[in-house]
Structure 1
């Protein structure tokens, strides 16, 4: 059977896509890595409600996002949506930011993962090697899996994710059954707890924990019945991530007591969750969870690697990246050349920090994660506005809630979060105001570069915003 050389193949369903998205969200990494910092620097016991608020904002945004996925099935997702609504120039600006965001957050996770692997190896009697050795080894492993069809990646991610969820659920159940340190209370879900200390910082970490959920649309071409699969997977993914984080963060709060957890976290964030596991599940379980944190990080970088490969594929197919990247592997049906490019870019970016002898966590992880959150929030705001414009102009969907009200509310919520992130950006990256300004300028430069590329493309071929292949994927 002949296969379109620029059409991705696959039969991934709702469960498979949700696995990919949850893996990108990296539940165990969030619970054991980000949550303790969020509690210490943010609103302490109010963390659980913060996750719920963040999930609510993203669910409202996803209503229009899901409606758009029913009209345009394209592995470019944000790029295709912004192009359809706001034109090719802003579409390419959004695409540049999306690729930039995923690339930087992937590099951030490589730093955290390399540091975690190195510490575990030393703990169990292995050699003490530079962190970048482990980072490059992880890049190689991810590259091999990412080169193949996404269904293989789904199986790998699915297994790792199940183990993560089991660990998180086990900790939550153990704390709740044993009554925590000072009994069960619902202080975490009160407005007072939410607005205590620094809710802006907490919201920043909460939104960052959801980065990757938007990838549901990226796998539309490889999905069974994408018009149904993508919207359902989006709602399920956000709901599952929000529920999981809210319950588990509540359990961690109760493990130390609502009135004590913030001070305990401030004294040391590194082992807050692992120590809770040791207390409520035993030392052996704590060691197992520490090892599983490595698999969680691997799952996250694999998911982002897959997303970036598909963005490069979509850009090449529409003529805005080298055409060689638009080819599909004859056996695996995957964007294999985009995968190779992504592996090389990861080596280069991580290599820069290795040459600079930077700390893999305090510098590589915090700086690149902060940049990624700003970039992806910018893309989401553009997408939300594009959805409103697209449906208003085309009349392709006349449902007011799906195409007007929810997208407007989503835009307002995202803009509010974006303002909070900018206000706390220096804290987020753990650097100086000068470093923060440089990184924000870099995000703006990437966006402008994409817009300029769109301007040049318009000068050469001003007739359309979407290519013929793109238009063929628009569902009537």
Structure 2
């Protein structure tokens, strides 16, 4: 049902979302956004090949620890700031409205770019798969548009439907990976089982900074738990628990699965296997340990993993837009809630149209769905989310130092400060390796800060700048709207 509240600006009253999502439902949605099977099938082989080789599984554990520090501060804010919006809301309360709006626009860029990058990937995989089984040879973007439409239908309806669909898909992809892990353990791997991936000399080998970059990117989505606050049952308890379960669960799963991938080929052979065909490494490993039937199941679940990912991010973006609309910084119509489905249906339609138009644009530009659409825009999202979380960590410390609403030193100062340091270091490494991440190379094939890097980094600057300028304009020209921004969020 909807709730209304008169505003001082005299505009159409905002409409709030309602629901009864529990910890499990929210965890399923945010873990689905992280796309665990896609990470193990795509990011892990690249982390092994381009990062620190045998030691790459340890990067997932390190990333999980850094993000757990961040999660402590995030959970503290959700208890004392009872409003949805996550980055947008918490930075608003901690660092002020201009910083909050800058963060909001950067968050929209982050989630939109990661979603559209996966749309490119899933379109390509579907095209290859259908052609491989004798189907019509259709261009990737037609499959991407079909997925956009399917996600749009699910996103338009009640959040419970999405959570059920995501739950089924997630159980499938996690299940097949755990079966593969068990098969590797039972077989004893290629050269026996060991803890070689966690030995310091292996962790620090190769390019650890590149490995950590891939690991941080694999967690994108877990932080979105707070966005579902209005639709959660007992949100003061549900959201913090879901946040902790998500980051710990993702971290353990990634570490275990990537360790098994190393064991499957042995510490002496895994890098060579990753170099042979990183994109197909998970399928080749599955064929080796689970046979042709297991390989087929893995291939199908790779596709559904990406479907779950884009559906989850669709839900995140629509609710972000809803929160911003409620705060009067986006058109009011985006705050509308469907009288039957109780979902932000207008925001969902806008997000569906946005994703569809971007896919059409990339098709017209002739971009490659993997080397350009997926690589470029997942790179933008990776750097953006590290910056977002770093800024939010500072906002947590500042908020509690100013308000004294929570005097737990670990939760409000120490943990978020450690998270900030870890995230700042991560963001710096990602920034320095950004050309490498997006494939911007010079004539010699070496990563270089070229035009492509400048354009994509420019997006990361322009979007928050637009939010900052909007805040300054509202403060000067519409002071009543500016004054109520924080209060309106989640009204």
Short-chain TM bin: over 0.9
The superposition leaves residues 228-274 of structure 1 with CA deviations (integer Å, 9 ceiling, x where unpaired) of 00000000000110000100100000111112211221122121111
Q: Distance in 1 between matches of 2:295 and 2:315?
A: 30
Q: Distance in 2 between matches of 1:191 and 1:416?
A: 20
The superposition leaves residues 17-75 of structure 1 with CA deviations (integer Å, 9 ceiling, x where unpaired) of 00001100001111111111111111111111100000000001110110001112323
TM-score by length of 2: 0.94
> In the superposition, relative to structure 1, how do residues 152 and 2 fare at CA in structure 2: closer, same or farther (>3 Å)?
closer
**Residue 263 (structure 2) pairs with residue 254 (structure 1):** yes
The superposition leaves residues 55-112 of structure 1 with CA deviations (integer Å, 9 ceiling, x where unpaired) of 0000011101100011123231110000001111010000000011100110000011
Q: Which residue of 2 aligns with 1:245?
A: 254
Q: Which residue of 2 aligns with 1:181?
A: 190
Q: Distance in 1 between matches of 2:387 and 2:308?
A: 25
Paired positions, count: 472
Q: Distance in 2 between matches of 1:100 and 1:410?
A: 22
The superposition leaves residues 134-167 of structure 1 with CA deviations (integer Å, 9 ceiling, x where unpaired) of 0000000000000111111000000000001110
Q: Distance in 1 between matches of 2:453 and 2:54?
A: 28
Q: Is the 2:324–2:489 Cα contact (8 Å) retained in structure 1?
A: no
Which of the residues 52, 71, 85 maps onto 1:43?
52
Q: Is the 1:85–1:389 Cα contact (8 Å) retained in structure 2?
A: yes
Q: Distance in 2 between matches of 1:165 and 1:19?
A: 11
Q: Distance in 1 between matches of 2:288 and 2:275?
A: 19
CA shift at 1:465, angstroms? Answer: 6.2
Q: Distance in 1 between matches of 2:56 and 2:282?
A: 14
Q: Is the 1:183–1:254 Cα contact (8 Å) retained in structure 2?
A: yes
Q: Which residue of 2 aligns with 1:441?
A: 458
Q: Distance in 2 between matches of 1:467 and 1:68?
A: 14
**Residue 393 (structure 2) pairs with residue 376 (structure 1):** no
CA shift at 1:438, angstroms? Answer: 1.6
Q: Is the 1:114–1:131 Cα contact (8 Å) retained in structure 2?
A: yes
Q: Distance in 2 between matches of 1:471 and 1:199?
A: 41
* Matched residue SS, 2:462: helix
Q: Distance in 2 between matches of 1:3 and 1:93?
A: 28
Q: Which residue of 2 aligns with 1:470?
A: 489
> In the superposition, relative to structure 1, how do residues 426 and 2 fare at CA in structure 2: closer, same or farther (>3 Å)?
closer
- The RMSD of aligned alpha carbons is 1.3
* Matched residue SS, 1:271: helix
TM-score by length of 1: 0.97
Which of the residues 414, 428, 432 maps onto 2:423?
414
**Residue 491 (structure 2) pairs with residue 456 (structure 1):** no
Gapped runs of 5+ residues in structure 1? Answer: none
Q: Distance in 1 between matches of 2:21 and 2:371?
A: 37
Q: Which residue of 1 aligns with 2:141?
A: 132
Q: Is the 1:68–1:387 Cα contact (8 Å) retained in structure 2?
A: yes
Q: Distance in 2 between matches of 1:86 and 1:471?
A: 18
CA shift at 1:467, angstroms? Answer: 4.2
> In the superposition, relative to structure 1, how do residues 271 and 302 fare at CA in structure 2: closer, same or farther (>3 Å)?
same
Q: Which residue of 2 aligns with 1:403?
A: 412
**Residue 298 (structure 2) pairs with residue 281 (structure 1):** no
Q: Is the 2:196–2:267 Cα contact (8 Å) retained in structure 1?
A: yes
Q: Which residue of 2 aligns with 1:225?
A: 234
> In the superposition, relative to structure 1, how do residues 180 and 471 fare at CA in structure 2: closer, same or farther (>3 Å)?
closer
* Matched residue SS, 1:210: coil
Which residues of 2 match residues 73-472 of structure 1 at below 5 A?
73-432=82-441, 433-434=449-450, 435-459=452-476, 460-461=478-479, 464=483, 466-470=485-489
